[in-house]
Structure 1
Amino acid sequence: MKVLLVYAHPEPKSLNGSLKNFTIQHLQNAGHEVQVSDLYAMNWKAALDANDSKSRLDKTYFDASLDSQHAFKNGLQSDDIALEQSKLLWADTVIFQFPLWWFSMPAIMKGWVERVYAYGFAYGVGEHNDSHWGDRYGEGTLAGKRAMLMVTAGGWQPHYSARGINGPIDDILFPIHHGILHYPGFDVLPPFVIYHTSKVNPDSYATICEKLGQRLDTLWSTTPIAFRQQNGGDYTIPDLTLKPDIAPELTGFAAHIK
Protein backbone atom coordinates (compact mmCIF):
# COMPACT_ATOMS: atom_id res chain seq x y z
CA MET A 1 0.00 0.00 0.00
CA LYS A 2 1.11 3.56 -0.72
CA VAL A 3 0.68 5.93 2.22
CA LEU A 4 1.06 9.71 2.27
CA LEU A 5 1.61 11.31 5.68
CA VAL A 6 0.72 15.00 5.76
CA TYR A 7 2.29 16.24 8.98
CA ALA A 8 2.09 19.57 10.81
CA HIS A 9 4.12 20.24 13.95
CA PRO A 10 6.98 22.73 14.29
CA GLU A 11 9.11 20.74 16.77
CA PRO A 12 10.82 17.52 15.56
CA LYS A 13 11.50 16.41 19.16
CA SER A 14 7.86 16.73 20.20
CA LEU A 15 5.44 13.89 20.89
CA ASN A 16 4.08 14.42 17.40
CA GLY A 17 7.57 14.20 15.96
CA SER A 18 8.15 10.89 17.72
CA LEU A 19 4.80 9.53 16.55
CA LYS A 20 5.57 10.64 12.99
CA ASN A 21 8.85 8.72 13.06
CA PHE A 22 7.16 5.67 14.57
CA THR A 23 4.45 5.75 11.89
CA ILE A 24 6.92 5.95 9.02
CA GLN A 25 9.10 3.15 10.39
CA HIS A 26 6.14 0.90 11.23
CA LEU A 27 4.60 1.25 7.78
CA GLN A 28 7.90 0.72 6.00
CA ASN A 29 8.69 -2.34 8.13
CA ALA A 30 5.33 -3.76 7.04
CA GLY A 31 6.32 -3.32 3.39
CA HIS A 32 4.34 -0.20 2.56
CA GLU A 33 5.62 2.71 0.49
CA VAL A 34 5.56 6.01 2.40
CA GLN A 35 5.83 9.64 1.35
CA VAL A 36 5.84 12.47 3.87
CA SER A 37 4.82 16.09 3.52
CA ASP A 38 6.35 17.66 6.66
CA LEU A 39 4.81 21.09 6.25
CA TYR A 40 6.95 23.04 8.73
CA ALA A 41 10.15 21.41 7.48
CA MET A 42 9.08 22.25 3.92
CA ASN A 43 8.44 25.87 4.96
CA TRP A 44 5.05 25.42 3.31
CA LYS A 45 3.43 28.64 2.13
CA ALA A 46 0.06 28.67 3.90
CA ALA A 47 -1.67 31.63 2.27
CA LEU A 48 -3.68 31.08 -0.88
CA ASP A 49 -3.03 34.09 -3.12
CA ALA A 50 -2.34 35.29 -6.64
CA ASN A 51 1.20 33.83 -6.57
CA ASP A 52 -0.24 30.31 -6.73
CA SER A 53 -0.56 30.65 -10.50
CA LYS A 54 2.32 31.10 -12.93
CA SER A 55 0.06 33.15 -15.21
CA ARG A 56 -3.00 34.95 -13.90
CA LEU A 57 -6.41 34.78 -15.56
CA ASP A 58 -6.83 38.53 -14.97
CA LYS A 59 -3.83 40.47 -13.68
CA THR A 60 -6.04 43.29 -12.42
CA TYR A 61 -8.25 41.16 -10.16
CA PHE A 62 -7.64 37.99 -8.14
CA ASP A 63 -10.52 35.52 -7.92
CA ALA A 64 -9.48 32.63 -5.67
CA SER A 65 -11.72 30.04 -7.35
CA LEU A 66 -11.45 31.12 -10.98
CA ASP A 67 -7.70 31.68 -10.83
CA SER A 68 -7.32 28.26 -9.22
CA GLN A 69 -9.41 26.69 -11.97
CA HIS A 70 -7.43 28.44 -14.70
CA ALA A 71 -4.08 27.41 -13.22
CA PHE A 72 -5.10 23.77 -12.68
CA LYS A 73 -6.70 23.39 -16.11
CA ASN A 74 -3.76 24.90 -17.97
CA GLY A 75 -0.82 23.47 -16.04
CA LEU A 76 0.00 26.85 -14.50
CA GLN A 77 -0.09 25.98 -10.82
CA SER A 78 2.93 26.75 -8.66
CA ASP A 79 5.25 23.75 -8.47
CA ASP A 80 4.63 23.08 -4.77
CA ILE A 81 0.87 22.74 -5.32
CA ALA A 82 1.29 20.42 -8.31
CA LEU A 83 3.72 18.22 -6.37
CA GLU A 84 1.31 17.77 -3.45
CA GLN A 85 -1.52 16.92 -5.84
CA SER A 86 0.67 14.26 -7.42
CA LYS A 87 1.28 12.77 -3.97
CA LEU A 88 -2.46 12.61 -3.31
CA LEU A 89 -3.06 10.87 -6.64
CA TRP A 90 -0.21 8.44 -5.86
CA ALA A 91 -1.44 7.47 -2.40
CA ASP A 92 -3.89 4.72 -1.49
CA THR A 93 -4.25 6.14 2.02
CA VAL A 94 -3.51 9.59 3.44
CA ILE A 95 -2.83 10.22 7.13
CA PHE A 96 -3.18 13.79 8.36
CA GLN A 97 -1.23 14.19 11.60
CA PHE A 98 -1.51 17.35 13.70
CA PRO A 99 -2.03 18.76 17.19
CA LEU A 100 -5.52 20.06 17.89
CA TRP A 101 -4.98 23.81 18.16
CA TRP A 102 -8.01 25.95 18.93
CA PHE A 103 -10.39 23.16 17.96
CA SER A 104 -8.94 22.62 14.50
CA MET A 105 -5.80 21.82 12.53
CA PRO A 106 -2.81 24.22 12.59
CA ALA A 107 -3.01 27.11 10.13
CA ILE A 108 -0.18 25.70 8.01
CA MET A 109 -2.19 22.51 7.34
CA LYS A 110 -5.38 24.44 6.63
CA GLY A 111 -3.32 26.43 4.14
CA TRP A 112 -2.13 23.20 2.57
CA VAL A 113 -5.76 22.20 2.03
CA GLU A 114 -6.76 25.59 0.64
CA ARG A 115 -3.95 25.64 -1.90
CA VAL A 116 -3.72 21.96 -2.88
CA TYR A 117 -7.48 21.42 -3.16
CA ALA A 118 -7.67 23.36 -6.42
CA TYR A 119 -10.80 24.07 -8.43
CA GLY A 120 -11.08 21.18 -10.88
CA PHE A 121 -9.00 18.91 -8.64
CA ALA A 122 -10.86 18.65 -5.33
CA TYR A 123 -13.93 20.76 -6.05
CA GLY A 124 -15.84 21.96 -9.07
CA VAL A 125 -15.73 18.38 -10.39
CA GLY A 126 -18.52 16.55 -12.18
CA GLU A 127 -21.76 17.39 -13.94
CA HIS A 128 -24.60 19.29 -12.29
CA ASN A 129 -28.13 18.32 -13.31
CA ASP A 130 -31.52 17.48 -11.81
CA SER A 131 -30.31 14.20 -10.31
CA HIS A 132 -26.55 14.68 -9.80
CA TRP A 133 -24.98 17.73 -8.18
CA GLY A 134 -21.33 17.38 -9.03
CA ASP A 135 -18.88 14.71 -7.89
CA ARG A 136 -18.48 15.41 -4.18
CA TYR A 137 -19.35 14.04 -0.73
CA GLY A 138 -18.36 10.47 -1.48
CA GLU A 139 -17.45 11.00 -5.14
CA GLY A 140 -14.72 12.99 -6.84
CA THR A 141 -11.02 12.96 -7.63
CA LEU A 142 -10.02 11.17 -4.41
CA ALA A 143 -12.79 8.56 -4.39
CA GLY A 144 -11.53 5.05 -3.60
CA LYS A 145 -8.74 6.35 -1.37
CA ARG A 146 -8.74 6.25 2.41
CA ALA A 147 -7.92 9.00 4.88
CA MET A 148 -7.37 9.07 8.64
CA LEU A 149 -6.68 11.84 11.13
CA MET A 150 -4.01 11.31 13.77
CA VAL A 151 -4.61 14.01 16.36
CA THR A 152 -3.04 14.99 19.67
CA ALA A 153 -5.03 17.01 22.21
CA GLY A 154 -3.89 18.62 25.42
CA GLY A 155 -7.23 18.15 27.17
CA TRP A 156 -8.34 15.06 29.03
CA GLN A 157 -10.46 12.51 27.17
CA PRO A 158 -13.57 13.30 29.31
CA HIS A 159 -13.28 16.93 28.17
CA TYR A 160 -14.09 15.68 24.66
CA SER A 161 -16.83 13.22 25.63
CA ALA A 162 -20.53 13.45 24.77
CA ARG A 163 -21.17 15.82 27.70
CA GLY A 164 -17.65 17.19 28.05
CA ILE A 165 -16.96 20.92 28.18
CA ASN A 166 -15.09 20.95 24.83
CA GLY A 167 -17.80 19.06 23.00
CA PRO A 168 -17.63 15.55 21.52
CA ILE A 169 -14.43 14.93 19.59
CA ASP A 170 -16.46 13.54 16.67
CA ASP A 171 -18.33 16.85 16.42
CA ILE A 172 -15.12 18.89 16.64
CA LEU A 173 -13.54 16.86 13.85
CA PHE A 174 -16.71 16.69 11.71
CA PRO A 175 -15.83 19.73 9.55
CA ILE A 176 -12.49 18.08 8.71
CA HIS A 177 -13.85 14.57 8.28
CA HIS A 178 -16.91 15.56 6.28
CA GLY A 179 -15.92 18.83 4.63
CA ILE A 180 -12.23 18.31 3.88
CA LEU A 181 -11.97 14.52 3.47
CA HIS A 182 -15.39 13.14 2.49
CA TYR A 183 -16.12 16.10 0.17
CA PRO A 184 -13.45 15.24 -2.46
CA GLY A 185 -14.22 11.52 -2.20
CA PHE A 186 -12.10 9.96 0.55
CA ASP A 187 -13.38 7.01 2.57
CA VAL A 188 -12.83 8.48 6.03
CA LEU A 189 -11.58 6.21 8.81
CA PRO A 190 -12.29 6.85 12.50
CA PRO A 191 -9.59 9.14 13.93
CA PHE A 192 -6.68 8.09 16.13
CA VAL A 193 -6.68 10.60 19.00
CA ILE A 194 -4.15 10.97 21.84
CA TYR A 195 -5.41 12.98 24.82
CA HIS A 196 -3.74 14.76 27.77
CA THR A 197 -0.45 14.98 25.91
CA SER A 198 1.43 16.81 28.67
CA LYS A 199 1.14 13.70 30.85
CA VAL A 200 2.53 11.22 28.32
CA ASN A 201 5.46 9.32 29.86
CA PRO A 202 7.60 6.42 28.60
CA ASP A 203 5.07 3.82 29.74
CA SER A 204 2.04 5.57 28.24
CA TYR A 205 4.02 6.35 25.07
CA ALA A 206 4.71 2.64 24.61
CA THR A 207 0.99 1.93 24.99
CA ILE A 208 0.15 4.66 22.48
CA CYS A 209 2.60 3.20 19.96
CA GLU A 210 1.16 -0.27 20.44
CA LYS A 211 -2.37 1.00 19.73
CA LEU A 212 -1.18 3.16 16.84
CA GLY A 213 0.63 0.19 15.32
CA GLN A 214 -2.60 -1.79 15.43
CA ARG A 215 -4.44 1.00 13.64
CA LEU A 216 -1.73 1.26 11.00
CA ASP A 217 -1.88 -2.49 10.43
CA THR A 218 -5.60 -2.26 9.67
CA LEU A 219 -5.72 0.89 7.54
CA TRP A 220 -7.04 -1.10 4.59
CA SER A 221 -9.64 -3.11 6.57
CA THR A 222 -11.05 -0.64 9.11
CA THR A 223 -14.67 0.26 8.40
CA PRO A 224 -14.96 3.91 7.31
CA ILE A 225 -17.31 6.40 8.92
CA ALA A 226 -20.68 5.84 7.26
CA PHE A 227 -21.20 9.30 5.79
CA ARG A 228 -24.13 9.61 3.43
CA GLN A 229 -23.26 10.16 -0.23
CA GLN A 230 -24.64 13.33 -1.72
CA ASN A 231 -25.83 11.62 -4.91
CA GLY A 232 -26.79 8.36 -3.23
CA GLY A 233 -30.50 9.13 -2.93
CA ASP A 234 -30.71 10.50 0.61
CA TYR A 235 -30.70 14.19 -0.40
CA THR A 236 -33.03 16.24 -2.55
CA ILE A 237 -31.36 18.02 -5.46
CA PRO A 238 -30.58 20.87 -5.92
CA ASP A 239 -31.30 22.11 -2.38
CA LEU A 240 -29.21 19.24 -0.93
CA THR A 241 -31.23 18.66 2.23
CA LEU A 242 -32.06 15.23 3.58
CA LYS A 243 -35.32 13.81 2.31
CA PRO A 244 -38.11 13.88 4.91
CA ASP A 245 -38.06 10.11 5.41
CA ILE A 246 -34.29 9.96 6.03
CA ALA A 247 -33.47 9.99 9.75
CA PRO A 248 -36.37 12.37 10.54
CA GLU A 249 -35.52 12.28 14.24
CA LEU A 250 -32.01 13.68 13.68
CA THR A 251 -30.62 17.11 12.90
CA GLY A 252 -27.10 18.54 12.76
CA PHE A 253 -23.97 16.51 12.15
CA ALA A 254 -25.45 13.18 13.25
CA ALA A 255 -28.07 13.25 10.50
CA HIS A 256 -25.40 12.92 7.84
CA ILE A 257 -24.10 9.59 9.13
CA LYS A 258 -26.02 6.41 8.38
Structure 2
Amino acid sequence: MKVLWLAAHPEERSLNGSLKDEGVRALREHGHEVQVSDLYAMKWNPVVDADDFDHPSEERLHISNAAERALGNGTLSPDIRAEQQKVLWADTLIVQFPLWWYGMPAILKGWFDRVFVKGFAYGFSDPDTGATLRYGDGPLTGKRAMVVVTAGARPGTLGPRGVNGDLNDLLFPLHHGTFWYTGMSAVPPFLVSSADRTTPAAFEDTAAQLRTRLLELPTTPPLPFRRQNSPDYDPETLTLHPDLAPNLTGPAIHYTDTPR
Protein backbone atom coordinates (compact mmCIF):
# COMPACT_ATOMS: atom_id res chain seq x y z
CA MET A 1 0.00 0.00 0.00
CA LYS A 2 0.89 3.65 -0.42
CA VAL A 3 -0.53 5.27 2.71
CA LEU A 4 -1.08 8.93 3.51
CA TRP A 5 -1.44 9.23 7.29
CA LEU A 6 -3.29 12.42 8.13
CA ALA A 7 -2.97 13.25 11.84
CA ALA A 8 -4.58 16.04 13.85
CA HIS A 9 -3.54 16.24 17.50
CA PRO A 10 -1.57 19.10 19.08
CA GLU A 11 0.55 16.91 21.39
CA GLU A 12 3.09 14.51 19.90
CA ARG A 13 3.44 12.72 23.27
CA SER A 14 -0.30 12.03 23.46
CA LEU A 15 -2.10 8.73 22.96
CA ASN A 16 -2.82 9.86 19.42
CA GLY A 17 0.83 10.61 18.78
CA SER A 18 1.93 7.25 20.14
CA LEU A 19 -0.65 5.34 18.10
CA LYS A 20 0.40 7.23 14.97
CA ASP A 21 4.01 6.23 15.52
CA GLU A 22 3.04 2.60 16.14
CA GLY A 23 0.86 2.48 13.05
CA VAL A 24 3.40 4.08 10.73
CA ARG A 25 6.14 1.81 12.02
CA ALA A 26 4.03 -1.33 11.52
CA LEU A 27 3.15 -0.38 7.96
CA ARG A 28 6.74 0.38 7.00
CA GLU A 29 8.04 -2.80 8.64
CA HIS A 30 5.70 -4.78 6.39
CA GLY A 31 6.89 -3.08 3.22
CA HIS A 32 4.22 -0.42 2.81
CA GLU A 33 5.12 3.15 1.85
CA VAL A 34 3.89 5.88 4.18
CA GLN A 35 3.77 9.66 4.03
CA VAL A 36 2.63 11.57 7.11
CA SER A 37 0.84 14.91 7.25
CA ASP A 38 0.92 15.88 10.92
CA LEU A 39 -1.17 19.03 10.72
CA TYR A 40 -0.25 20.61 14.04
CA ALA A 41 3.45 19.92 13.51
CA MET A 42 3.14 21.43 10.03
CA LYS A 43 1.30 24.45 11.48
CA TRP A 44 -1.28 23.85 8.78
CA ASN A 45 -3.46 26.85 7.94
CA PRO A 46 -7.09 25.65 8.09
CA VAL A 47 -8.68 28.84 6.79
CA VAL A 48 -9.98 29.16 3.24
CA ASP A 49 -9.56 32.67 1.83
CA ALA A 50 -8.70 34.49 -1.39
CA ASP A 51 -4.98 33.99 -0.83
CA ASP A 52 -5.44 30.28 -1.57
CA PHE A 53 -6.29 31.13 -5.17
CA ASP A 54 -4.32 34.30 -5.94
CA HIS A 55 -7.73 35.89 -6.41
CA PRO A 56 -8.00 39.58 -7.37
CA SER A 57 -9.25 41.58 -4.39
CA GLU A 58 -11.57 43.71 -6.52
CA GLU A 59 -13.52 40.64 -7.69
CA ARG A 60 -16.18 38.84 -5.66
CA LEU A 61 -14.83 35.55 -4.36
CA HIS A 62 -16.79 32.46 -5.38
CA ILE A 63 -14.89 29.74 -3.54
CA SER A 64 -15.50 26.65 -5.68
CA ASN A 65 -15.01 28.46 -9.00
CA ALA A 66 -11.91 30.30 -7.80
CA ALA A 67 -10.40 27.05 -6.53
CA GLU A 68 -11.09 25.22 -9.78
CA ARG A 69 -9.62 28.06 -11.81
CA ALA A 70 -6.51 28.28 -9.62
CA LEU A 71 -6.04 24.51 -9.81
CA GLY A 72 -6.19 24.66 -13.59
CA ASN A 73 -3.84 27.60 -14.08
CA GLY A 74 -1.31 26.58 -11.43
CA THR A 75 -1.93 29.42 -8.97
CA LEU A 76 -3.34 27.31 -6.14
CA SER A 77 -1.44 27.89 -2.89
CA PRO A 78 1.71 25.68 -2.77
CA ASP A 79 0.79 24.09 0.58
CA ILE A 80 -2.51 22.92 -0.91
CA ARG A 81 -0.85 21.55 -4.03
CA ALA A 82 1.65 19.63 -1.92
CA GLU A 83 -1.15 17.90 -0.01
CA GLN A 84 -3.02 17.13 -3.21
CA GLN A 85 0.06 15.41 -4.60
CA LYS A 86 0.18 13.22 -1.50
CA VAL A 87 -3.47 12.28 -1.99
CA LEU A 88 -2.86 11.40 -5.64
CA TRP A 89 0.19 9.33 -4.68
CA ALA A 90 -1.65 7.34 -2.01
CA ASP A 91 -4.01 4.44 -2.49
CA THR A 92 -4.98 4.52 1.19
CA LEU A 93 -5.80 7.42 3.50
CA ILE A 94 -5.67 7.13 7.29
CA VAL A 95 -7.40 10.03 9.04
CA GLN A 96 -6.58 10.16 12.75
CA PHE A 97 -8.02 12.58 15.28
CA PRO A 98 -9.56 12.95 18.74
CA LEU A 99 -13.34 13.31 18.78
CA TRP A 100 -13.94 16.90 19.90
CA TRP A 101 -17.56 18.00 20.33
CA TYR A 102 -18.69 15.09 18.18
CA GLY A 103 -16.50 16.04 15.25
CA MET A 104 -12.97 16.48 14.02
CA PRO A 105 -10.63 19.26 15.19
CA ALA A 106 -10.97 22.46 13.18
CA ILE A 107 -7.47 22.12 11.74
CA LEU A 108 -8.47 18.82 10.13
CA LYS A 109 -11.75 20.17 8.78
CA GLY A 110 -9.72 22.98 7.28
CA TRP A 111 -7.45 20.47 5.55
CA PHE A 112 -10.43 18.99 3.71
CA ASP A 113 -11.86 22.46 3.01
CA ARG A 114 -8.64 23.64 1.38
CA VAL A 115 -7.35 20.44 -0.26
CA PHE A 116 -10.52 18.78 -1.60
CA VAL A 117 -11.37 21.57 -4.02
CA LYS A 118 -13.51 21.56 -7.14
CA GLY A 119 -11.64 20.09 -10.07
CA PHE A 120 -9.60 17.89 -7.75
CA ALA A 121 -11.98 16.00 -5.46
CA TYR A 122 -15.33 16.84 -7.06
CA GLY A 123 -16.93 18.63 -9.98
CA PHE A 124 -16.77 15.92 -12.65
CA SER A 125 -19.49 14.46 -14.89
CA ASP A 126 -19.86 11.29 -16.91
CA PRO A 127 -19.05 12.30 -20.52
CA ASP A 128 -21.65 9.91 -21.90
CA THR A 129 -24.61 10.41 -19.56
CA GLY A 130 -23.89 13.82 -18.05
CA ALA A 131 -24.46 12.37 -14.58
CA THR A 132 -22.46 13.99 -11.80
CA LEU A 133 -19.71 11.68 -10.58
CA ARG A 134 -20.06 11.52 -6.82
CA TYR A 135 -21.07 9.11 -4.05
CA GLY A 136 -19.05 6.15 -5.27
CA ASP A 137 -18.05 7.48 -8.68
CA GLY A 138 -15.91 10.51 -7.87
CA PRO A 139 -12.37 11.32 -9.04
CA LEU A 140 -10.77 9.52 -6.07
CA THR A 141 -12.44 6.19 -6.89
CA GLY A 142 -10.21 3.22 -6.11
CA LYS A 143 -8.70 4.71 -2.97
CA ARG A 144 -9.56 3.50 0.54
CA ALA A 145 -9.88 5.48 3.75
CA MET A 146 -10.01 4.57 7.42
CA VAL A 147 -10.69 6.79 10.41
CA VAL A 148 -8.68 6.25 13.60
CA VAL A 149 -10.50 8.15 16.32
CA THR A 150 -10.03 8.51 20.06
CA ALA A 151 -12.77 9.49 22.49
CA GLY A 152 -12.98 9.98 26.23
CA ALA A 153 -16.36 8.23 26.20
CA ARG A 154 -16.67 4.79 27.77
CA PRO A 155 -17.09 1.67 25.59
CA GLY A 156 -20.66 1.23 24.45
CA THR A 157 -21.66 4.87 24.72
CA LEU A 158 -20.72 5.35 21.05
CA GLY A 159 -22.64 2.25 19.99
CA PRO A 160 -26.15 1.80 18.53
CA ARG A 161 -27.79 2.22 21.97
CA GLY A 162 -25.23 4.56 23.51
CA VAL A 163 -26.08 7.98 24.88
CA ASN A 164 -23.46 9.63 22.66
CA GLY A 165 -24.95 8.25 19.46
CA ASP A 166 -23.65 5.57 17.15
CA LEU A 167 -20.14 6.24 15.88
CA ASN A 168 -21.09 5.46 12.29
CA ASP A 169 -23.77 8.16 12.48
CA LEU A 170 -21.33 10.67 13.96
CA LEU A 171 -18.82 9.91 11.22
CA PHE A 172 -21.39 9.84 8.41
CA PRO A 173 -20.44 13.33 7.15
CA LEU A 174 -16.84 12.14 6.78
CA HIS A 175 -17.45 8.55 5.65
CA HIS A 176 -20.28 9.30 3.24
CA GLY A 177 -20.19 13.06 2.66
CA THR A 178 -16.44 13.28 2.05
CA PHE A 179 -14.85 9.89 1.35
CA TRP A 180 -17.73 8.30 -0.57
CA TYR A 181 -18.70 11.59 -2.21
CA THR A 182 -15.26 11.80 -3.83
CA GLY A 183 -15.24 8.11 -4.75
CA MET A 184 -13.15 6.69 -1.92
CA SER A 185 -14.30 3.55 -0.11
CA ALA A 186 -14.47 3.93 3.67
CA VAL A 187 -13.68 0.91 5.82
CA PRO A 188 -15.09 0.63 9.36
CA PRO A 189 -13.43 3.07 11.77
CA PHE A 190 -10.97 2.16 14.50
CA LEU A 191 -12.26 3.57 17.79
CA VAL A 192 -10.23 3.99 20.96
CA SER A 193 -12.66 4.70 23.79
CA SER A 194 -11.83 5.84 27.34
CA ALA A 195 -8.82 7.52 25.76
CA ASP A 196 -8.05 9.71 28.77
CA ARG A 197 -7.93 6.69 31.06
CA THR A 198 -5.56 4.49 29.08
CA THR A 199 -3.08 2.37 31.05
CA PRO A 200 0.23 1.05 29.69
CA ALA A 201 -1.31 -2.42 29.36
CA ALA A 202 -4.37 -1.03 27.60
CA PHE A 203 -2.14 0.91 25.22
CA GLU A 204 -0.22 -2.20 24.24
CA ASP A 205 -3.47 -4.02 23.54
CA THR A 206 -4.85 -1.08 21.53
CA ALA A 207 -1.63 -0.74 19.54
CA ALA A 208 -1.72 -4.44 18.68
CA GLN A 209 -5.32 -4.15 17.50
CA LEU A 210 -4.44 -1.12 15.39
CA ARG A 211 -1.51 -2.91 13.78
CA THR A 212 -3.81 -5.79 12.85
CA ARG A 213 -6.44 -3.49 11.37
CA LEU A 214 -3.85 -1.62 9.33
CA LEU A 215 -2.28 -4.75 7.87
CA GLU A 216 -5.72 -6.14 7.00
CA LEU A 217 -6.77 -2.96 5.19
CA PRO A 218 -6.40 -4.33 1.64
CA THR A 219 -8.95 -7.08 2.35
CA THR A 220 -11.26 -5.31 4.80
CA PRO A 221 -14.79 -4.96 3.36
CA PRO A 222 -15.76 -1.29 3.03
CA LEU A 223 -18.86 0.29 4.50
CA PRO A 224 -21.71 -0.74 2.16
CA PHE A 225 -22.87 2.61 0.85
CA ARG A 226 -25.22 2.89 -2.10
CA ARG A 227 -23.87 4.49 -5.27
CA GLN A 228 -25.69 7.62 -6.37
CA ASN A 229 -25.67 6.57 -10.03
CA SER A 230 -27.25 3.20 -9.31
CA PRO A 231 -30.89 2.16 -9.72
CA ASP A 232 -31.39 2.71 -5.97
CA TYR A 233 -31.94 6.46 -6.39
CA ASP A 234 -34.37 8.35 -8.58
CA PRO A 235 -32.09 10.06 -11.14
CA GLU A 236 -34.16 13.25 -11.16
CA THR A 237 -34.75 13.82 -7.45
CA LEU A 238 -31.74 11.85 -6.13
CA THR A 239 -33.95 10.34 -3.44
CA LEU A 240 -33.99 6.68 -2.50
CA HIS A 241 -36.76 4.69 -4.13
CA PRO A 242 -39.62 4.21 -1.64
CA ASP A 243 -39.49 0.41 -1.81
CA LEU A 244 -35.93 0.41 -0.43
CA ALA A 245 -35.46 0.68 3.35
CA PRO A 246 -39.13 1.75 3.70
CA ASN A 247 -39.11 1.86 7.50
CA LEU A 248 -35.90 3.85 7.86
CA THR A 249 -34.83 7.46 7.50
CA GLY A 250 -31.59 9.38 7.83
CA PRO A 251 -28.12 7.94 7.29
CA ALA A 252 -29.31 4.33 7.66
CA ILE A 253 -31.10 4.34 4.31
CA HIS A 254 -27.89 4.98 2.39
CA TYR A 255 -26.37 1.62 3.32
CA THR A 256 -27.18 -1.53 1.37
CA ASP A 257 -26.64 -3.46 4.60
CA THR A 258 -26.23 -2.62 8.27
CA PRO A 259 -22.63 -1.41 8.84
CA ARG A 260 -20.53 -3.45 11.24
TM-score of Structure 1 vs Structure 2, range by shorter chain: over 0.9
SS at match of 2:226: coil
Once the two structures are superposed, residues 83-124 of structure 1 have per-residue CA deviations (whole angstroms, 9 ceiling, x without a partner) of: 111111100100000000010110000000000011111121
| CA deviation after TM superposition for structure 1 residue 181, in Å | 0.8
SS at match of 1:170: helix
8 Å CA contact retained: 1:138, 1:229: yes
Q: Distance in 2 between matches of 1:192 and 1:242?
A: 29
1:154 paired residue number: 152
Q: Distance in 2 between matches of 1:30 and 1:74?
A: 39
Q: Distance in 2 between matches of 1:246 and 1:164?
A: 27
| CA deviation after TM superposition for structure 1 residue 60, in Å | 2.4
Q: 1:187 aligns with which of 174, 185, 188?
A: 185
8 Å CA contact retained: 1:57, 1:70: no
Q: Distance in 2 between matches of 1:126 and 1:75?
A: 22
Q: Distance in 2 between matches of 1:153 and 1:48?
A: 28
| CA deviation after TM superposition for structure 1 residue 145, in Å | 0.5
The alignment of Structure 1 onto Structure 2 pairs a total of residues equal to: 256
2:98 paired residue number: 99
8 Å CA contact retained: 1:132, 1:237: no
| CA deviation after TM superposition for structure 1 residue 61, in Å | 1.3
Q: Distance in 2 between matches of 1:208 and 1:41?
A: 24
Q: 1:204 aligns with which of 198, 202, 205?
A: 202
1:165 paired residue number: 163
| CA deviation after TM superposition for structure 1 residue 219, in Å | 0.7
TM-score, length basis structure 2? 0.95
1:67 paired residue number: 66
SS at match of 1:190: coil
Q: 1:248 to 1:164 in 2, by over 3 A?
A: same
1:248 paired residue number: 246
2:125 paired residue number: 126
Once the two structures are superposed, residues 12-36 of structure 1 have per-residue CA deviations (whole angstroms, 9 ceiling, x without a partner) of: 0000000010011000000000000
Q: Distance in 1 between matches of 2:131 and 2:199?
A: 49
| CA deviation after TM superposition for structure 1 residue 57, in Å | 6.3
Which stretch shows the higher mean deviation, 174-183 or 155-164? 155-164
SS at match of 2:107: helix
RMSD over aligned CA atoms reads 1.4
Which stretch shows the higher mean deviation, 186-195 or 154-163? 154-163
1:31 paired residue number: 31
1:45 paired residue number: 45
Which stretch shows the higher mean deviation, 158-167 or 170-179? 158-167
Once the two structures are superposed, residues 169-191 of structure 1 have per-residue CA deviations (whole angstroms, 9 ceiling, x without a partner) of: 11111111100111000011000
8 Å CA contact retained: 1:97, 1:149: yes
Q: Which runs of 5+ in 2 are unaligned?
A: none
* Residue identity matched to 2:98: P
* Residue identity matched to 1:186: M
2:89 paired residue number: 90
TM-score, length basis structure 1? 0.96
Query: Where does structure 1 differ by over 4 angstroms across 4 or more consecutive aligned residues?
Result: none
Q: Distance in 1 between matches of 2:192 and 2:203?
A: 10
Q: 1:184 to 1:157 in 2, by over 3 A?
A: same
* Residue identity matched to 1:114: D
* Residue identity matched to 2:220: T
Q: Distance in 2 between matches of 1:128 and 1:9?
A: 41
